[in-house]
Structure 1
Amino acid sequence: MKLIVATHNEGKLAEIQTILKADLGSRSDGIQLVTAGSLGLPDPVETGVSFEENALLKARDVAERTGEPTLADDSGLIVDFLGAAPGILSARWSGVHGDDEANLRLLLSQMKDIPDSGRSAHFTCAMALVVPGSVTGGKRYEHVEFGIMRGSINHGPVGEHGFGYDPIFVPTAQPKDQVGGADNNELTSAQMSPRQKNAISHRGQAIRNMVPFIDDLLLQ
């Protein structure tokens, strides 16, 4: 069964693939993951006012264009000091969508004089699954799951892995094996291996929450 991932980010596809393999084992071989980007599909305009609305908007758009089951997420960083910003504007906080470096610079400048005690933040992910009626043999199926990763904003970028705000986000939940940093030194998401990050990330939680529904709808 083909499952379209409504993204142009191949890193997200790899993350989903890893989690499906871990949770479903050899059964995951029955799912062929394909990104919307690899199909040449455009990114829909995100007009929703919440992560859930935008995730559903993207999943519905790709499912309608392809007639295939589609998985989409909308994720963002919520910084308490900034009144829950950048939120749904996380990917375009600097004014240009997907400019990670500019987004980091702007956020760090806005937090420049804020002490550690005021740098709390968390990532939120809404993951939407849309299965067209042509696949279910009836009505279109829609389901949304969520994930949260709590932490704080570092004073500068550290680490080479991940994407987005990973270099400046220090998760509260830290891996037991501190690969990538000194012992007892808290890691940013960008210092973690994909396995370490997947185990605690907001997107990882949302995907794992969605696995039973993928299994039931697409692999039975």
Structure 2
Amino acid sequence: MSDTIRMVVATHNEGKLAEIKRILVEDLGEDAERIELVTAGSLNLPDPVEDGVSFEQNALLKARDVVRRTGLPAVADDSGLIVDVLGAAPGILSARWAGVHGDDAANNRLLLAQIEDIPDANRTARFRCAAALVVPETDDGRTEPPYDIHNENVELGDMQGVIIRAPRGEHGFGYDPIFVPDDQPARAAEAGHPLTSAEMMPEEKNAISHRSKAIRRLVPSIRRLVLHNYVQ
């Protein structure tokens, strides 16, 4: 056993790493110092094909891929927008709803056009995140990949809200400019209207986000499966 253990966040986004690190510090206290977080990008790991049919499947396949390649515990997430009147679409297709992956403006335009005639009261939606923790087998004697998996867990987090009729705000990404969360910061009273995710400061959004909720629900598993098994 070593004093610390590396845990890989299955992303190439350093901002996501910082958010998860903040949550671990808040929820684990001093124990968070015993976990060294690194990104898959920093280890030059490729992105796996996300061919799952649910957020849970895609989060798990990303974390499993990292574990099999590195033999280290891994956290991964997958998220998207669920619009009730569209029967839970765009869902796992959120990032490529208009046909091109990552074209946020096109995705927003298409979604607004699809629900243009829907009354405000029926434009309910939620962002959903699945966060997965996958832990390798430590007693199989393997010294090179593919490493075996010992345990895995996946948790969900939702951010409820509504879709407005025109974009507002300059922060965030994706559908943030057209999504108004139900949970609002105190500053919304000063603005005179509920804020979209894109009108919120990053710390305001992170405090209520679907990803934060899902990661926080993983923390007991991280404490049990990572800290207790790897670090003494």
Q: CA shift at 1:86, angstroms? A: 0.3
1:23 corresponds in structure 2 to 27
List gaps (5 residues or longer) in structure 1: none
**Larger-gyration structure (1/2):** 2
Map residues 103-118 of structure 1 onto 2, 5 A cutoff. Answer: 103-118=107-122
**Which consecutive segments of 4 or more residues in structure 1 shift more than 6 A?**
135-138
1:101–1:3 Cα change, 3 Å: farther
1:193–1:135 Cα change, 3 Å: farther
1:161–1:101 Cα change, 3 Å: same
1:208 corresponds in structure 2 to 216
* Equivalent-residue separation in structure 2 for 1:188 and 1:218 (angstroms): 36
**Partners of 2:75 and 2:134 within 8 A in 1:** yes
2:87 corresponds in structure 1 to 83
**Partners of 1:69 and 1:135 within 8 A in 2:** no
Comparing 136-145 and 187-196, the one that deviates more: 136-145
1:141 corresponds in structure 2 to 151
**Partners of 2:95 and 2:104 within 8 A in 1:** yes
**Partners of 2:67 and 2:149 within 8 A in 1:** no
Q: CA shift at 1:183, angstroms? A: 4.2
The question of 1:170 aligning with 2:174 is answered no
Residue correspondences, number:
218
**Aligned letter for 2:58?**
N
**Percent identity, aligned pairs only?**
65
**Partners of 1:5 and 1:35 within 8 A in 2:** yes
Instruction: Describe the superposition over 1:147-203 as per-residue Cα deviations: whole angstroms up to 9, x where unpaired.
Output: 11110112222222222212211111112x216x73442111122223322222111
Using structure 1 for the length normalisation, give the TM-score. Answer: 0.90
Using structure 2 for the length normalisation, give the TM-score. Answer: 0.85
1:132–1:100 Cα change, 3 Å: same
**Aligned letter for 2:23?**
I
Map residues 26-105 of structure 1 onto 2, 5 A cutoff. Answer: 26-105=30-109
1:24–1:164 Cα change, 3 Å: same
Q: CA shift at 1:103, angstroms? A: 1.8
**2:166 corresponds to which of 156, 159, 163:** 156
**Partners of 2:59 and 2:78 within 8 A in 1:** yes
